[in-house]
Amino acid sequence: MSLTIQWLGHACFAIRRDDYTLVIDPYNSDYINGYPKLHVKADKVLVSHEHFGHNYREGVELSGRPEADCPFEITTLKAPHEFKMGNWRGFTLIHILKADGLKIVHMGDLGTQLDGGQITQLYGADVAMVCAGSCTALPSQEAKRAMDEILANVIIPMHYRHDGMGGHRLETVEDFANQFESPELIHYYDSDTLTVTAGMEPQVAVLKYLGPAGYADLIPAPPSAEKRGFLSKLLHKK
């Protein structure tokens, strides 16, 4: 069995177990600087909160597979989006995905430190995806502190500014990486995909954004000529 996490940009990931694909936090490129339009196929879509950088469900073409096919046990924790305890930007959901004895956590736009109950449920995650420094969620120093609390084995930074992409007020991934005292923990990958296994080497896994070329197998095929002709007839039917 194979479980992989692929970074599609911003806070969006494709999490795959064998032939099942789950996409979390699809972004609307009209509101996120630099990223191309997102259009992918998946078996399930999850959204941490209803902001344009995270809730572009229209960008995910669902397969229609029954819910029973989902190999993940999915639970959520509600947390404030910002330091004003949700009174400014509302709340975000932390998603916990379990499969094959592995615990994968997507932190959403966490804006405050975790409470004791949340730490207990997130503690020892095999992988945690966390905002690396946001003007509206935790800044890099505080995001690192949250990761220290849950002791995730592998940390994947997300939601940061890089290569002309992401909001100009966001910090860079280097701002987050510099919070760690041991440089050897920081692994810069030439791939946008990480294969998750039990007992992986502890690390901060900085994935490389490759754009649509990296997730070409997730891009739906264009309609066939026959379908295009049928649709054209419908559109022009009087």
Assigned CATH for 3-236: 3.60.15.10
Q: What is the pLDDT of residue 86?
A: 45
Q: What is the pLDDT of residue 102?
A: 97
| Banded pLDDT at 134 (limits 50, 70, 90) | confident
Token pair for 115: 């409470």
pLDDT above 90 covers a percentage of the chain that reads: 72
| Per-chain mean pLDDT for the chain | 90
Q: Cα–Cα distance between 93 and 111 in angstroms, integer?
A: 11
pTM (whole model) above 0.85: yes
DSSP assignment letter at 74: E
pLDDT digits (tens, 9 = 90+) for 7-52: 999 999 999 999 999 999 999 998 888 999 999 999 999 999 887 7
Looking at this protein, which amino acid is placed at residue 80? P
- Short-list 133, 88, 86, CA closest to 112: 86
Residue 48 has phi, psi (to 5 degrees) of -80, -35
Residue 109 has phi, psi (to 5 degrees) of -95, 65
